[in-house]
Amino acid sequence: MSALAGTMRHARYVIGENPVTGLAFALFVIIVFVALLGQHVAPIDPLASDTAVALQPPSPHHWFGTDQLGRDIFSRVVVATRLDFGIAVASVALVFVMGGLAGVAAGFFGGWTDRVVSRIADTIMAFPLFVLAMGIVAALGNNVVNIVIATAVVNFPLYARVARAEANVRRETGFVEAARLSGNSEAQILVLQVLPNVLPILVVQMSLTMGYAILNAAGLSFIGLGVRPPTAEWGIMVAEGAGFMVSGEWWIAFFPGAALMIAVFCFNLLGDGLRDIVDPRRRT
């Protein structure tokens, strides 16, 4: 049986054995699906305002009700899936590449590289992380790209540390030696051999980071440093909608909040499942 088929069978076993993991995977698939389809699933233009129907509760015409400008909340929540999922994935990709590369280089080469990377990681860790993210977004401007950068920077130390530890271990292993003997440059070995091996270990952390990226964007929106209007993004919808709770218009914050919660919930639980599949030795 091929390695891939073996992995698939093991995956099915893991998912089947643990109902929570199974649920998480199912949710993940749904989220990806909605993110991909995006606009096409949304019945109404998420940016179209219609003040005549502002602040209406859920109804057959507007499943999730309308917000203060008369926009359909269901459409906005659906369209926001793509943006939030994109923020999550982009943040994780960025921090994995940045932190992973830096950490692996530090562990592999040692010496000055190690010192510099460790210093940077320590400095970042010494900051109160949310305030650092706030500072970065405030300084660079509040748009999606900078929010992704801020999230990546804040998570950098963790990835760098883990990657460094792994690279340290694998510096002198057999396959690395073999690659060296075959004439691969140190850089090629780093990127093609060592870095991919770091991935399984970071898998849990990566899905947690996806959840964190979305929560971070929401927190930033609460203090006014989130995405720009009229963008539909769960975090900013929750932040704005929270002010409407006291006056009774609960749906404005509830639906984006529920979507956000389900997504983050899913990512958090997903990590456990992925780790069980990828690296059974570390199962707890």
Partner 1 sequence: MKRREFLKSMTALAAGIAVPAPAVFSPARAQSRQETLLIISESGPNNLDIHGVGTIVPGYETSWNCYDRLISHDKKTLADGTEYYDRDKFVPELAEDWNVGDVSITFKLRKDAIFQDGTPVTASDVKWSFDRAVTVGGFPTFQMKAGSLEKAEQFVVVDDHTFRVDFIRKDRLTLPDLAVIVPCVMNSGLVKSKATASDPWALEYTKTTTAGSGAYRVASWQPGTELIYERFEGWKSGPLPKIRRVVWRMVPSAGNRRALLERGDADISFDLPPRDFAEMKQEAKLKIVSTPISNGIQYIGMNVKKPPFDDVKVRQAVAYAIPYQKIMDAVMFGQAKPMFGAEANAAASTLWPQPHGYHTDLAKAKALLTEAGYPDGFETTLSFDLGFAVVNEPLCVLLQESLAQIGIKTSINKIPGANWRTELLKKEMPLIANIFSGWLDYPEYFFFWCYHGQNAVFNTMSYQNPEMDALIDGARVAASNGDQTRYEADVKGFIDKAFAEVPRVPLYQPYLNVAMQKNISGYRYWFHRRLDYRWLAKA
Partner 2 sequence: MAIPSLIGVVIVTFLLTRALPGDPAAYFAGPAATREAIEQVRANLGLDRPLPEQFLRYVRDLARGDLGRSLTTGQPVVSEIRTRLPASAELTLLGLAVAMLIAVPLGILAATRPGSLVDHACRVVATAGVSLPVFFTGLILVYVFYYRLGWAPPPLGRLDIFYSPPPAVTGFYLIDSLLAGQPETFIASLRQLLLPALTLAIFSLAPIARMTRASMLAVLSSDFVRTARASGLASSTVVVTYAFRNALLPVITTLGMVFSFLLGANVLVEKVFAWPGIGSFAVEALIAADFAPVQGFVLTMAVLYVLLNLLIDVLYGWIDPRVRIEA
- Give the residues lining the site for partner 2 (CB under 8 A): 18-20, 119-120, 122-123, 125-132, 134-136, 138-141, 211, 215, 218-219, 222-224, 235, 238-239, 242, 245-246, 253, 257, 260-262, 264-265, 268-269, 272, 284
109 binds, among partner 2, partner 1, none (CB under 5 to 8 A by kind): none
Least Cβ distance, residue 3 to partner 2 (angstroms) = 27
Determine, following the binding rule CB under 8 A, whether residue 247 of this chain makes contact with partner 1: yes
Residues 192, 198, 200, 202, CA torsion sign: negative
Question: Is 193 in contact with 181 (CB distance < 8 Å)?
Answer: no
Determine, following the binding rule CB under 8 A, whether residue 138 of this chain makes contact with partner 1: yes
Q: Per-residue DSSP letters for 145-166?
A: HHHHHHHHHHHHHHHHHHHHHH
Least Cβ distance, residue 229 to partner 1 (angstroms) = 5
The DSSP secondary-structure symbol of 171 reads T
Least Cβ distance, residue 159 to partner 2 (angstroms) = 15
Question: Is 156 in contact with 164 (CB distance < 8 Å)?
Answer: no
Q: Which residue, among 36, 89, 88, 79, has the nearest Cα to 256 in the 3D structure?
A: 79
Question: Is 216 in contact with 200 (CB distance < 8 Å)?
Answer: no
For residues 48-67, which are near partner 1 according to CB under 8 A? 48-49, 51, 54
168 binds, among partner 2, partner 1, none (CB under 5 to 8 A by kind): none
Q: How far is it, in rounded angstroms, from Cα 6 to Cα 203?
A: 19
Both tokens assigned to 67: 């917000």
Determine, following the binding rule CB under 8 A, whether residue 139 of this chain makes contact with partner 1: no
* Footprint of partner 1 (CB under 8 A): 47-49, 51, 54, 68-70, 138, 142, 224, 228-230, 242-247
